[in-house]
Structure 1
Amino acid sequence: MEITQLLLELSSAIKEIKAHLLVLKQTRTEKFKQAWIDGQEVMLALSISKRTLQSLRDAGTLPYSRINGKFYYKVADLEKLLESNYSQNLKNESHD
């Protein structure tokens, strides 16, 4: 009876580990999918034109990867760009 109980506990533990591994694998896949976005998504997210995006690439301001003529950008690089241009200039905007 004791061995049967141990085997049931072991089986349960293995199933739990398997479930955790599946979640981890899905999380990594989702992170990878979200880590790169194409130029169209960048233009929409930043409200910029195709030419402005090209200028950011040309100036080396925004790193990219190019595959078959299509440009991809890391979300982390976009966040860095936004952070590096962040201004907390809080002027009093009341017009008394």
Structure 2
Amino acid sequence: MTEVFDMLLTLAQDIKTIKAYLLNFHKSRLEQFSDEWIDGQVVMQTLHISKRTLQSLRDSGVLPYSRINGKFYYKVSDMEALLESNYSPSKSKHYGDK
């Protein structure tokens, strides 16, 4: 009986170790994601905008970019900043309130 109990304690500790590793991995992926570069096609699909709208955002300086061999790249963190700067919180406290 004590063998089973010892095995369960060991298993519980192993699960805690795996959980800590996964949480750390998830955090590092989130940090990497914020510094990630994506191309214009992904930006257009993500924001549901046209090629012309994306060009307007570039031309007006609203969305910073990098250009390599005629292809445009954007930082995910810049897209997030653009979305945050245009965020309009709901005027009502609860969804569906009139």
User: Smaller-chain TM-score range?
Assistant: 0.5 to 0.7
Q: What's the CA shift string for 1:10-37, capped at 9, x where partnerless?
A: xxxxxxxxxxxxxx9xx68x927x6100
The residue type equivalent to 1:87 in the other structure is S
- What TM-score do you get using the length of structure 2 for normalisation? 0.60
Cross-structure match for 1:46: 47
Q: Distance in 1 between matches of 2:96 and 2:50?
A: 29
Identity %: 68
The gaps in structure 1 that reach 5 residues or longer are 1-23
The answer for unaligned runs of 5 or more in structure 2 is 1-24
Equivalenced residues, count? 71
Residue 94 (structure 1) shift: 5.6
1:58 aligns with 2:59: yes
CA distance in 2, matches of 1:90, 1:73: 32
The aligned runs of 1:76-91 (5 Å cut-off) are 76-91=77-92
Q: What SS is found at the alignment partner of 2:91?
A: coil
TM-score by length of 1: 0.61
How big is the alpha-carbon RMSD for the aligned residues of Structure 1 and Structure 2? Answer: 3.3
Larger radius of gyration: 1
Give the drift of 1:89. Answer: 2.9
* Partner residue, 1:70: 71
